[in-house]
């Protein structure tokens, strides 16, 4: 059986995905994770601290999934195009759940620096990922923007159509 902390984080992942950050309460997380209130507060001082931990775990998971998905591809152009295939893979795996970071960003006040810093760090790492693959920063930023908008649009319309179109645009840009 998973540790209380792991159960809390797993439950948080499910509840944030299903009902959002603001609609998920600590008492519900405690009940559904089957942990004592004291156990929750032993690991997390607040819902905000839990959210930060959740996003850090999600960041690590997401980049590990991306790197594993692209591990067989050796050239940069293939990795860039494959990143869009990865979005389709994640949409199938997670039923068009969208980006955890952007979902939470839409629910927090902009002065919540603790959570905002984690979200900005994730997006900076993603932007840097494309910077490491593209020929120049302008191209990398175009790819990043198409990638990000593909995530949002695919979640909104529950369709991979715009991911495919973005992949085609990117493939033409990097030839």
State residue 80's pLDDT score: 98
State residue 175's pLDDT score: 73
How many angstroms separate the Cα of 1 from the Cα of each of 6, 10, 33, 58?
10, 12, 12, 21
Domains (range + CATH), the chain = 1-44 (1.10.10.60), 46-173 (1.10.357.10)
State residue 1's pLDDT score: 77
Confidence of residue 119 (pLDDT cuts 50, 70, 90): very high
How many angstroms separate the Cα of 47 from the Cα of each of 9, 40, 44, 131?
11, 10, 7, 34
31-43 confidence digits (pLDDT tens): 999 999 999 999 9
The DSSP code sequence of 78-127 is HHHHHHHHHHHHHHHHHTS---HHHHHHTTS-TT-HHHHHHHHHHHHHHH
**Gap between the Cα atoms of 154 and 96, Å rounded:** 7
133-162 confidence digits (pLDDT tens): 998 999 999 999 999 999 999 999 999 999
- More confidently predicted of 1 and 125: 125
Question: With 90 as the cut, is the pLDDT of residue 117 above it?
Answer: yes
Q: What percent of the chain has pLDDT over 70?
A: 100
Where is 139: in which H helix or E strand?
helix 137-157
State residue 135's pLDDT score: 87
């Amino acid at each position: 059986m998973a540790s209380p902390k792991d159960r809390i984080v797993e439950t948080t992942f499910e509840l944030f995905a299903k009902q959002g950050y603001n609609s998920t309460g600590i008492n519900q997380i405690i009940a559904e994770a089957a942990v004592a209130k004291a156990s929750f507060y032993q690991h997390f001082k607040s819902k905000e601290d839990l959210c930060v931990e959740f996003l850090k775990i999600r960041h690590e998971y997401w980049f590990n999934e991306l790197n594993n998905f692209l591990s067989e591809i050796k050239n940069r152009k293939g990795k860039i195009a494959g990143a869009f295939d990865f979005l389709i893979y994640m949409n199938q795996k997670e039923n068009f759940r969208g980006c955890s970071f952007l979902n939470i960003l839409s629910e927090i006040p902009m002065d919540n620096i603790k959570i905002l810093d984690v979200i900005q760090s994730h997006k900076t790492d993603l932007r840097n990922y494309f910077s490491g693959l593209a020929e120049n920063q302008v191209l990398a930023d175009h790819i990043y923007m198409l990638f990000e908008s593909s995530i949002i649009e695919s979640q909104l319309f529950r369709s991979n159509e715009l991911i495919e179109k973005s992949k085609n645009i990117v493939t033409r840009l990097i030839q």
